[in-house]
Amino acid sequence: MTTARIPLLHRYANPAAFGRLSSQILPWTAGVSAILLGLGLYFGLFASPPDYQQGNTVRIMYVHVPAAIMSEVVYGLMAAAAAAGIIWKHALADLFVKAAAPLGAAFTFICLVAGSLWGKPMWGAWWVWDARLTSELVLFFLYLGYLALVDAFDDPQRGLRAGAILVLVGVVDLPIIKFSVDWWNTLHQPASLITMSGPKMDKSMLLPLFLMIGGFTTFFITVVLMRLESELLARRIRAWRTASGDE
């Protein structure tokens, strides 16, 4: 441990210390998540009305929109963490990017499939090159690219750093991609009456939507904390294996 490049090891980069901290937070986030998701499901599936135009398919919005929001928020968080990792060289920052990525990819996937299932009854096709769906698809590949890159290096630290740079380039390009896809979409398709963002929101629809958004967010926090501890442990395990190999 003699080169200046070693990341500044904050107390919580120690998996045991991190585990103690997260075990205090986790029950709360998990509990709140379960409650919000449960209530969201109840209101989304039972206690809210079908839409005037779209009927019961509007209920798909209660999973599609939260997933869409999470897919973008998670990428933003990953970019912020990647920047923090490069600027302050904090081990937790780089590992957060890796911990969050599969979750963001999963949310993007949910958004795409739910969007497709919403699109079929509405627009008659399983896939439509709607601007939002197309951008989501590109975002999905940005996630996949990160996941593939970070695991493609024999040296994990190198992989984390390459991945961090990739995420930063991706986050700069993401608004450009969305702008270009939106622009391309208006160029090639007539304006549709029914948009993916749903009808004008009645209060009875806002409630399940916000409940589900809250549920998705707290679920993410819960799982990412666990994944972060898991990554820290993996790093510690590698260190142990290297040390015992030196014997």
Contacts (CB under 8 A) with another protein, residues 38-97: 41, 45-46, 50, 55-57, 59-60, 63-64, 67, 86
* Structure-token pair, residue 88: 């302050």
- Nearest distance from C-beta of residue 183 to another protein, angstroms: 7
Q: What are the structure tokens assigned to 17, written together?
A: 């210390």
Site mask for another protein (CB under 8 A), range 124-163, x = bound? --------------x--xx-xx--xx--xxx---xx-xx-
Question: String of b and e for 53-87 (b: at least 16 CB within 10 Å)?
Answer: ebeebbbbbbbbbbbbbbbbbbbebbbbbbbbbee
The nearer residue to another protein, 187 or 191, going by C-beta atoms, is 187
**Shortest Cβ 170–another protein spacing (Å):** 8
Considering only CA atoms, which of 17, 18, 37 is closest in space to residue 29?
37
- Within residues 17-36, the interface with another protein by CB under 8 A covers 19
Q: How far apart are CA 203 and CA 33, in angstroms?
A: 22
Closest distance to another protein from the beta carbon of 57 (Å): 5
Nearer to another protein among residue 49 and residue 201 (C-beta): 49
SS3 84: helix
Taken in order 240, 21, 222, 140, the sign of the CA dihedral is negative
Query: CB 158 → another protein: shortest distance, Å?
Result: 6
Between 8 and 176, whose beta carbon lies closer to another protein? 176
3-state secondary structure of 55: strand
Q: Which stretch binds another protein (CB under 8 A): 69-77, 89-97, 197-205, 229-237?
A: 229-237
Closest CA to 32 of 213, 198, 233: 213
Q: Which CB atom, from 8 or from 46, has the smaller least distance to another protein?
A: 46
Query: Per-residue x/- mask for another protein, residues 96 to 125, rule CB under 8 A?
Result: ------xx--x--xx--xx--xx-xx----
> Which residue in 2, 8, 243, 245 binds another protein (CB under 8 A)?
243
Q: Write out the binding residues for another protein, residues 170-209 only, by CB under 8 A.
A: 170, 172-173, 176-177, 179-181, 183-184, 187
Q: CA end-to-end span of the chain, whole Å?
A: 17
Report the C-alpha gap between 9 and 217 in whole angstroms. 28
